[in-house]
Amino acid sequence: MTMTGNLKILIVMPVFNDGNTLRSVAQSAIATGYDLLVVDDGSVDHCIQSVADLQCRTMRLLKHVGKGAALLQGAAEAAKHGYDTIVSIDGDGLHNPTDIDLLVAKAQVAENPCMIIGARQGIRDSNHFIKSSANFWVRLACGLEIPDAESNFRLYPVKELLAQNLNRSHYGFEIETIVKLAWSGIQVSSVPVTGCNAPAASEISLYNTIRKTLSLTLLHSRLVARRLSPWPHKKLTEDEPFPEKVYKSISKNPLKVLKEICREHTSPLWLATAVWLGIFMGALPLLAIHTIAIIYVAHRLHMNKVAAVAASQFCMPPVVPVLCIQMGYYLRNGELLVDFSWQPWLLGIHERLWEWFIGSLLVGPLLGLIGAGIMYFVASHVQKGKLKNID
């Protein structure tokens, strides 16, 4: 058993048909001085035999259950043997075991159990969009700025990881663990590590890309929907998130609270996202509760509340509501509503409200994109101007 400071650390390496690389990666992992557990996730190439003579534990699963499920079984095995911390690393050679010390060093200075992610540096640019998309949705679901949310190279607190109700065993496991651990009060941070590009032969097929995209879309939708729910999350630590501490410490001074709200989440991207949210929700027929609803959603999704509410004012009657009603009427009847007498608008108000809702689902997002684009352009130029002035 390897102990570093107060941490009892085990490297857990889930593998699936990694016969060409497993032995060399395992040797490098063992050379770090930490104990190693190799979990064979139902491989058919008998790769586990390549490490039979090495100083490491092995576990073989009878069927392929997915990297996430294999890692959880490895974590359960670690708990049985008294380890309180595991480091997950792939067996395909895309992670550098010598970087484990970077994750461990950051975990040692944390006051409470924490999760440390190895943010890969220098990987192929074609992965940039995938990484950015995952980072965006994690930020939306739990408010954390994670530079590489899909990285499998991580340090986990064993007890806290096993306490989570995780639904993903393969696609999205990395995203789900970040969000749910953060919701439970566990500190999640990252350190830069060496990044390696996958060989061309291991590139994901188009079918698997579509399958992964659909799977992740469902996951992100479910996590965001849960985030919008008012029900509290189960906490595994008493430590409060930093923003909550700030609000409580200044809650006796309303002016300071307002100033803090105006300053939060003010990067160009997130200001633009807040504007999109404000315009989209402003176009919905949320009669008399627009502002309350927008503030609630912006708060839950960690967006700038001032920007969202301000943007929603562009949707005040009559222009945008009439535009939405006309769009909804056209979608239902194939023509515009040209009768502006009081009968169809007042006596048929229930029909107009339904058409307003239908139309807002198209008009709101489109107007939101225009507003978000303008805000991003302006905020980016203002930010660049400030940086030039500083220089």
Q: 365 and 274, same structural domain? A: yes
Q: List the structure tokens of 306.
A: 């001032």
Do 130 and 37 reside in the same domain of the chain?
A: yes
CB 50 within 8 Å of CB 43: no
Whether residues 42 and 128 share a domain: the answer is: yes
Write out the residue range of the structural domain in which residue 36 sits.
2-228
User: Do 383 and 280 reside in the same domain of the chain?
Assistant: yes
Same domain, 73 and 152: yes
Q: Which residues pair with 295 in a beta bridge?
A: none
- Is residue 271 in some structural domain? yes
Q: Does some domain include residue 234?
A: no
Q: Are 41 and 190 members of one domain?
A: yes
Q: Does 278 share its domain with 252?
A: yes
DSSP letter at 58 equals E
Considering the domain architecture, whether residues 329 and 357 belong to the same structural domain is answered as yes
Helix (H) or strand (E) holding 157: strand 154-157
- β-pair partners for 9: 2, 85
CA distances from 245 to 110, 236, 239, 249 (A): 18, 17, 10, 6
Cβ proximity of 300 and 228 under 8 Å: yes
Per-residue confidence in pLDDT tens, the chain, 391 aa: 666 667 899 999 999 998 889 999 999 999 999 999 999 999 998 899 999 999 999 999 999 999 999 999 999 999 999 999 999 999 888 889 999 999 999 999 988 899 999 998 876 644 566 778 889 999 999 989 899 998 999 999 999 999 999 988 888 899 999 999 999 999 999 999 987 665 544 455 666 777 778 888 889 999 999 999 988 888 887 655 444 444 444 444 555 555 555 556 678 899 999 999 999 999 999 988 999 999 999 988 989 998 999 999 999 888 999 999 999 999 999 999 988 887 888 888 889 999 999 999 999 999 999 999 999 998 888 776 654 554 4
Are residues 54 and 96 located together in one domain of the fold?
A: yes
Specify whether the CB–CB gap between 75 and 162 falls below 8 A.
yes
Residue that the structure tokens 């352009």 belong to = 377
Tally Cβ neighbours within 10 Å of residue 130.
15
370 and 334: one domain?
yes
Q: Is residue 335 part of a domain?
A: yes
State the total domains in the chain.
2
Residue 222 tokens read as 């479910």
CATH number of the structural domain spanning residue 183: 3.90.550.10
pTM above 0.85, yes or no: no
Residue 233 covered by a domain: no
Residues 265 and 164 in one domain: no
